[in-house]
Every structure is written in structure tokens, then in C-alpha cells.
Amino acid sequence: MNMGFSQIVSYFLLVLLLYSCNGESQRLRYQMYEDIEGAYACFRRLNGTHQFGCSSSRSGNVGVVHIIENQADSDWLVSNGLAGPYVAVVHPSMFTRSLLLTLQSSGKVNGVVMINNSSAEKPLHFSHEDTCPNRYSGLSQLYGQTCSVGEKSGWNPHGTSVLLMDWKFPIFYVTDKSHIDHLYKCYQKHNAVAHPGEQLERALCALELKSHMYAAVNSKKCMKRNNYQTLFSQVNSCDPLGGRNVWQTLFPRSTHQLGNGLDQRSSKQTEANGSIAVLAARMDSTSMFDGLVPASIGAVSGIVTLISTAQLLFRMIPQQENYDKNVLFLLLAGESYDYIGSSRIVFDMKQGTFPVKPDPSVAQPPPIGLQHIGPFIELSQLKKPADGQPLYVHRLEDSSEVKNFIKILQRNGNGLGVPISDKLPASRNLPPASLQTFLAERPDIPGLVLTEHAAQYSNNYYHSVFDDTASLNYIYANKSEVPNDSIQAYLANVSTTIAHSLYEHVTNKEYLGSLTADKNLMDELLHCYLEQNNCSLFQSAVAGSSEGEEKPLSYYVGVSHVYSLVSILTGAAMALLTGSPTKFNETDCHNNASTDQVYQYIWVSSQWNNSSSPKVCLQTTMNFSSAVSPAFIIDGYDMASGKYSTWTESVWPELTARMFLKPPFYQEVITLVLGIVVLGLSFAGVFYINGRKEILFSPGASTEDERAPLIRTNDQVFC
Amino acid sequence: MDLTKVRNERKLEICRLYARAGWAFLPLLWAVNFVWFYKAAFTADPYPEQKEIKRYVLLSGVGALLWIIALTIWIVLYQTHRIEWGDWGESISFIIPTGSP
């Protein structure tokens, strides 16, 4: 009380000054907010008719933290919560469709954060995909919806379709332990109360979630908006999903003989119908959160088995041998979104432009049509079944060709401890698979899908963030002996089975050699795809260029104009493991697309398990084909027709989450009122001073020099 | 500019200029003209140019009012019906809101 007003003000200023001069002080923003780094966000996707996923408001959604660990917490929030809006923080086991719907309809929830530190137990099942993945595409085009497995409701029994709903609030996923701990501490210190009313009188721990999405309504609308670009809105609102398929043939196919000693293998110019066997697997998966799509069973098991099979087949068939039959290896992108990759290949095949657009002046692979496809074998969701359990072959066709091939598979599999059970064709019922796209166009393709599930998926984490290394039971052997009961050994045996069977199909004779798939290669492949994408195999394949980081790959297909790391690395790995060495040096090791589209030349390490081994130029038939849905190629395509995939992904400016202390309501009111009062006072002050300006400001000024400064020296100021 | 210190002929010149320029789809200029010269036209002691200034001020006022009415109707219509109008609604929009229909 004995301090004068001016003393208080100067003290205050001094404190401010000291504070701002302090070397360790940070910006105010950093003192108020704790950024939650590494949070994964749910975003918006659209198809021809609807929007799916999440979006926040433009400036982000703010809510008071409420941790939901059990039903009681959720009930409390819905019926008692007074300090809303809230952000519900939930564990994976509580992150269910019913809870999300309850929160959404309560109107009190502004966002949801799922937290999970790795030590916590995984829920028993967690799949946000539909019970019938790709319900409206594939064979549904031909027969109407076919998804039912016996009496059960669908292939993916635990599917909740949360991925296929439009949520009104942002959803984030936080895995960082220290952030989760801070969140808990902050919650327990500030938000945990005995009576709901108490929350109104306290500063509360709150979260701000920013995941504003530019696109809305459906793909048709947002693609149109991309074209209405004016001076003030030049950003795209959405981009088509897609990428590149990886394809390769066992024997080179060429319209011209290249000669000049360029043909390492004798190439084929014409093919009979049904002479190209296809070995296919999908290369993508999905989950609810951006950048976190592990897909161990969903995609990786198929990719690695296919690569290892291809590598074995190339080793089994000597370079100079030539046969009438060929094998096409296909790794498809975007299959999770109504079969983008396969539908584009089928479209191109019908146009006569697969694998490349015909050009008589260039040596190139001749077009492959649907009629050329012999047996079509798809690897879908492989894992090691329980002891003594078989893998299952699903098929629609009952022709002798299919049956013969299955017999060969079974014979080869039995010798290798891979029993294969033939699921007799059920009526128009095939598990979701790329094969469906081909069958929808040509129903008599002798196709089969090799999976580990007899009926419904046994993978309880289909299309989710938990389809990770643990669900394959994979332990990296790191160049040591791979145990025989491991997933590596099992998948290697599956590869051997398929390779031996394809050998028999191509050459018409049983394989009598001793080559089998390399378990250590399988171990390394799984390590690369599941754990560390800068592994030595990928490093060898991209010859030390900087692709890859020390983390698992994410298998989301992404937008079509960005080439996903998965397809780049998969293509490179295929080429590395199957290519033929040439004598070219580094400068000559490049493609000449104007004369030769048959081969690609890549500069790689000569040994896959040693990235520092001497470099060599490999010639390979591996190549990429566009995996952009025909919907975005065909002029004037009707996006609502449902014929082709119309999936697009919204553009977003940022995905961020941060935590802060939100003052109680009364304090916010006081601050606002204070601000208004100060504003009013300053207006009044100006009005008052303006009215008395002649008295207040230098009375004689008008008679003297008007431009004379009012304040000349310090003396005058204080006099 | 303090109008009280300006000669009457100059006042008329300015008022006429604003009223004429307003025809170039500049309703705000009319509104300014109306407010600025209101005192000079209606409450000031009579002077020779006042009659003409009065005319220009009235014209500006009525013009501005008509503009306000027309714009209000259009803005309300546009804001409430843009989504219904579909593609046409988007094609006449200068800024399209992000993340909403």
C-alpha cells in the first residue's frame, strides 16, 4: 500500500525487461503450449459419393482433456461434463465404434485422442475396415454384392467400418511415452475432480487438435474445385489416391530382337492365349492414421513371399533356356481402395497398353491382354498357421487347369511342410483380392487366392495400426541361423512351393534340382519391410542413395503424383535379386527409353547382403506401371457410377496437436471485460484530450514556429 | 480536409466529382459523399452553390441506399443458396471455403 502507482508500474516493467533479457527465456508460446510431436492424425478421404475420416475446424479444435479408461468415465463425460467442449483421451481397447458414436452424438466432444505406449496390451481385435473390404468393387461389379462367408457376416469379422465414416471431430493417435505421461499428470493435477461443477472454477488441462481438411463432400466436387483455381485460392483441395505397380516377367518379352549382345536372356515375341502365369500380391494397406500403416500380414507377407519366389525362379531356370510359357510378377498398389492398381492394369490390358503404350519404332514388350493370363496366383495375407494347419486356396473356377495347378502346389507343399487345402468354389464368393478385378472382366481366368484363412480373416488387426511385426511373430535373425519354426522359414517354404510349382507349369517337368528359397534372404526381406527401411538389402538395391530411414515402412498408397517409398524400394529389390549382371560401367548404366523399353539398367551392389560390395550394372525386366484409377484417366467419367475406384485424399495445411492450461471460464470473462474497459477508457481519454488540446499542448505554438518541437530538452519535459 | 475551411465553389466541385465518379460502380464513394456533404447541403447557412450540392448529395444518398439494398439481397441469397446452386454456385465464387460443401 505504501508503493506509489508509478513505482508499481516501473517494478512491473523491470520484471518484464529482466524476463525478456534472460538468455534462457523462451517465447511465450513455448511456455504456454506443449507441442505433442509425433502424433498421428486421422485425415479425410473421399470417393465418388461421400467423404470419410476426420477434419478439425480451420483454426483447430480445442477441448478439455478427459481420459476415458472405462465405461464409467465415458458416462461421466456424456452426462455430467460441464466444462466442455472436451477432448476424449482413450486407450485402444476403448476406441470402439460405439464409444465414438456416443461421443459424437453427445455434442460435448471436440476431438478424440487415442493413446498407446508400446508396453500396454494390444486389444484382442482392432480393425476399422468394413466387414467386407472393397464391398462395392471387384466381383460385385459382375454379380452384385457377394460378401458373405457361410452364415457369418463378412470376411473381416471384427471390422467396425470406423474408417468408412465421416467423423465430426479430429482424431489423433499418440504413442510417445513422455507425452502420454505429461498428459496423465496434467489431467490428474488439474482435471480430476470429485464433482463436475468443480471443473468450472479451475484452470484445466486442454488439447488443441489441428487437422483441417480442404476437401469436402466427394471426389467429384473436390476434383472440380481443383480446376476452379482463382487468384485467391490456388491450392488443390484433393488428390487422387494411387501410385505405381511393380511388374516383371520371368522371360524378357520384346517386339524386336535387341542384338548387340544386349539380350541376357532370350526374349519372347509372341504368346499363345493362357501362356502367361501371373503371381500377384498387393503392396498397400491402410489404417486410420497418417504415416502409420504397418500391414505385416496385410501386405508384407505377400510382398516378401513374392520377391523370394521370383528370386528362386530366376535361379532355377538357367539363362539360355526358353519356354513357351512365361510368368508375370505383379505387385499392386492401391488395392485397399477398390483395387486401384489392378483395375488400372485390367483397363490398360483392354486398351492394349499394358505394360507400355505400343510404339513400333522402339523395342518394347508386346501388349499383354486378359486372354494371355494363364493361372493367376494371388498371395494374400500369409502367416504361419497353427501347427498342422494348412494354407487355403480360394477360387471360383473349377476348370481342369486350376485343379491341376492346385495338385502341383499341394504335392510340392507337402514335401516342404506347407500343406495346402483346396476350398471348393463357393458360389461367387471369393475373399477380397486383386484377382476379383480380373475375374470381373474375364470370369474364366483360372485364378486362385492363397491365404492363411479358411473362411473369415484370422488377422484381427486387418487395416489397422496394430497389424505390426508382433502379429507375424517375427524376430530378426540378423545373418545367423534362421530357426525352422520361424515365420521366415515358413514363408521361405511357401516361396519354394510356389516356385517349384511355377517351374513345373512353365517347363512341363517336375523340378529335380536342390534349389530352395533362401531363409536368410527372407529374414532380411522381412527385416527391411517390417523394421528398418534402410537395411542393407535396400541399401544395396538403391546403391547407397539416400532413400529410407531407420523406421518401418508405411504401406498407405498415398497420392498418385508422389511415388511411394514402398514401390520404389520393392521395384529396386526385385531388380537387385533377379537382374542379370552386364559389363556396363556406371556411366553407361542407364535406360534408353527411345530405343529399348524391354530392359531397365540399374546400378547396384553386387551382393544383396553387403551394401558395400563392388557395384555392378544389372539388366532387368522389372518395371513400373501406373496405378492411377481409370476414373481419373477417362474424360468425363461419371464419378458416381461406381465402376472404377474414385478415392481421393484431402489436402491439409498441417496436422498438429498441443497441450496447454485453459483458464477457468470466469477468468476468461474477467480478461475480456478488462480488455473492453481499457478500450473504452482509452477512447474516453482520447476524446477528453482532443477536446482540450489547446490547453494541453503548447498554448503559444500557433504564434511561434509551428514546426518547433514540443519537447526540446529533458529539462522542459519535467518542468 | 475540413470542409468549413473550403471555398463554396471548391465544395461544389468536389461534391460533383464524387457524385459522378460514383456511377463507376463505386457505391462507397456515394456513401462518403452523402455523409461528408450532408451538413453543407442541408444544415449550413444558405449560399449560392448549396442548391446544386443538395442535388448531388441526394443523388449520392439514394444511389448508395439502392446499392446497399441490392447488395444485401444478393449476399443473403448467395450465402444461403450457394451450395444448392452446385457447380454454378462454385463457378461464380471467388473464394471457395475449405473443408465444407
CB contact under 8 A, B96 and A216: no
pLDDT at A552 over 90: no
| Least CB–CB distance from B100: residue in A216, A228, A233 | A216
pLDDT of residue A14: 57
Give the residue on B whose Cα is nearest the Cα of A231. Answer: B94
CB contact under 8 A, A214 and B91: no
Look up residue A200 and give its three cell numbers. Answer: 468450472
Q: Are residues A182 and A294 located together in one domain of the fold?
A: no
- B84 and chain A in contact, CB less than 8 A: no
pLDDT digits (tens, 9 = 90+) for A348-376: 999 999 889 988 888 888 999 999 998 99
Task: Give the range among A117-121, A522-526, A550-554 with minimum mean pLDDT.
Answer: A117-121
CB contact under 8 A, B91 and A228: yes
- B46 and chain A in contact, CB less than 8 A: no
User: A364 to each of A137, A357, A370, how far by Cα in Å?
Assistant: 32, 9, 19
pLDDT digits (tens, 9 = 90+) for A142-193: 887 777 665 567 889 899 999 999 999 999 999 999 999 999 999 999 998 8
CA A605 to chain centre: 29
Nearest to A130, CA basis, from A97, A173, A168, A93: A97
| Least CB–CB distance from A216: residue in B94, B95, B101 | B101
pLDDT of residue A234: 67
B chain contacts of residue A231, beta-carbon cutoff 8 Å = 94
pLDDT at A718 over 50: no
Is residue A208 in some structural domain?
yes
Residue with cell 560390395: A613
Task: Give the range among A51-65, A219-233, A240-254, A459-473 with minimum mean pLDDT.
Answer: A219-233
Strand, coil or helix: A343 = helix
**Dist. CA A620–CA A229, nearest whole Å:** 43
Look up residue A620 and give its three cell numbers. Answer: 532387368
| Least CB–CB distance from B99: residue in A213, A231, A233 | A213
Give the number of domains in chain A.
2
pLDDT of residue A202: 87
pLDDT of residue A518: 93
**Dist. CA B22–CA A128, nearest whole Å:** 61
CB contact under 8 A, A224 and B90: yes
Give the residue on B whose Cα is nearest the Cα of A213. Answer: B99
Note whether A430 and A484 are within 8 A (CB): no
**Dist. CA A309–CA A322, nearest whole Å:** 19
pLDDT at A17 over 70: no
Q: Are residues A389 and A427 located together in one domain of the fold?
A: yes
The residue range of the domain holding A100 is: 32-128+163-213+655-670
Q: Are residues A168 and A262 located together in one domain of the fold?
A: no
Q: Are residues A66 and A200 located together in one domain of the fold?
A: yes
pLDDT digits (tens, 9 = 90+) for B26-66: 999 999 999 999 998 999 888 888 999 999 999 999 999 99
Mean pLDDT of A46-64: 94
Angle at A162 between CA A159 and CA A167, to 5 degrees: 175
Please give, rounded to a whole number of angstroms, the shortest distance from the CA of B52 to a CA of chain A. 34
Is residue A591 in some structural domain?
no
Question: To probe the interface with B, which of A45, A214, A236, A650 has the most B CB atoms within 10 Å?
Answer: A214
Beta strand A648-650 with A40-41 is unpaired
Please give, rounded to a whole number of angstroms, the shortest distance from the CA of A393 to a CA of chain B. 45
Please give, rounded to a whole number of angstroms, the shortest distance from the CA of B6 to a CA of chain A. 20
DSSP symbol at B39:
I
Q: CATH no. for residue A412?
A: 3.40.630.10
CB contact under 8 A, B99 and A228: no
Residue A473 pLDDT level (bands cut at 50, 70, 90): confident
pLDDT of residue A704: 47
Question: To probe the interface with A, which of B92, B98, B100 has the most A CB atoms within 10 Å?
Answer: B98
How many CB atoms lie under 10 A from the CB of residue A174? Answer: 21
pLDDT digits (tens, 9 = 90+) for A293-334: 999 999 999 999 999 999 999 999 987 778 889 999 999 999
Q: Are residues A252 and A207 located together in one domain of the fold?
A: no
Residue A141 pLDDT level (bands cut at 50, 70, 90): confident
Please give, rounded to a whole number of angstroms, the shortest distance from the CA of A147 to a CA of chain B. 33
DSSP state letters, B45-80:
PP-TTHHHHHHHHHHHHHHHHHHHHHHHHHHHHHHH
Q: Sign of torsion, CA A415 A417 A422 A428?
A: negative
3-state DSSP of A259-300: CCCCCCCCCECCCCCCCEEEEEEECCECCCECCCCCCHHHHH
Is residue A176 in some structural domain?
yes
Beta carbon pairs, A and B, within 8 Å: 35
Nearest to A372, CA basis, from A440, A250, A270, A500: A270
Q: Are residues A312 and A192 located together in one domain of the fold?
A: no
B chain contacts of residue A215, beta-carbon cutoff 8 Å = 99
**Dist. CA A388–CA A417, nearest whole Å:** 9
CB contact under 8 A, B101 and A214: no
pLDDT of residue A717: 38
pLDDT of residue A427: 66
Q: Are residues A353 and A424 located together in one domain of the fold?
A: yes
CB contact under 8 A, A224 and B95: no
Query: Is A401 buried (19+), middle (13-18) or exposed (0-12) by CB count in 10 A?
Result: middle
**Dist. CA A312–CA A331, nearest whole Å:** 17
**Dist. CA B18–CA B1, nearest whole Å:** 15
Is residue A268 in some structural domain?
yes
Is residue A378 in some structural domain?
yes
Please give, rounded to a whole number of angstroms, the shortest distance from the CA of B94 to a CA of chain A. 7
pLDDT at A719 over 90: no
Q: Are residues A168 and A109 located together in one domain of the fold?
A: yes
Packed helices A487-507 and A519-530: angle between N→C axes, nearest 10 degrees: 120
Which positions ≥6 away from A51 have C-beta within 8 Å?
Answer: A44, A45, A166, A215, A216, A217, A218
Mean pLDDT of A129-133: 90
Chain A, 496 to 555: residues with Cβ < 8 Å from chain B are none
CB contact under 8 A, B93 and A228: yes
**Dist. CA B41–CA B33, nearest whole Å:** 11
A chain contacts of residue B91, beta-carbon cutoff 8 Å = 228
Look up residue A336 and give its three cell numbers. Answer: 485397399
Q: Are residues A52 and A170 located together in one domain of the fold?
A: yes
Chain A, 267 to 286: residues with Cβ < 8 Å from chain B are none
pLDDT of residue A269: 63
pLDDT of residue A227: 80
Please give, rounded to a whole number of angstroms, the shortest distance from the CA of B40 to a CA of chain A. 23
Is residue A510 in some structural domain?
yes
Mean pLDDT of A597-604: 90
Q: Are residues A339 and A205 located together in one domain of the fold?
A: no
CB contact under 8 A, B98 and A228: no
Residue with cell 451450395: B83
Q: Sign of torsion, CA A540 A541 A546 A550?
A: negative
B chain contacts of residue A222, beta-carbon cutoff 8 Å = none
| Least CB–CB distance from B94: residue in A55, A212, A230 | A230
Q: Are residues A209 and A250 located together in one domain of the fold?
A: no
Is residue A692 in some structural domain?
no
Q: Are residues A251 and A206 located together in one domain of the fold?
A: no
Residue A35 pLDDT level (bands cut at 50, 70, 90): very high
Average pLDDT over chain A, rounded to whole? 87
Is residue A536 in some structural domain?
no
- Better pLDDT: A429 or A350: A350
A chain contacts of residue B87, beta-carbon cutoff 8 Å = 224
pLDDT of residue A320: 74
CB contact under 8 A, A228 and B90: yes
Longest dimension (CA), chain B: 60
B chain contacts of residue A224, beta-carbon cutoff 8 Å = 87, 90
B chain contacts of residue A221, beta-carbon cutoff 8 Å = 101
- B24 and chain A in contact, CB less than 8 A: no
A chain contacts of residue B85, beta-carbon cutoff 8 Å = none
Give the residue on B whose Cα is nearest the Cα of A220. Answer: B87
pLDDT at A544 over 70: no
Note whether A252 and A265 are within 8 A (CB): yes
CB contact under 8 A, B95 and A58: no
Residue with cell 507425452: A179
Packed helices B27-38 and B50-85: angle between N→C axes, nearest 10 degrees: 140
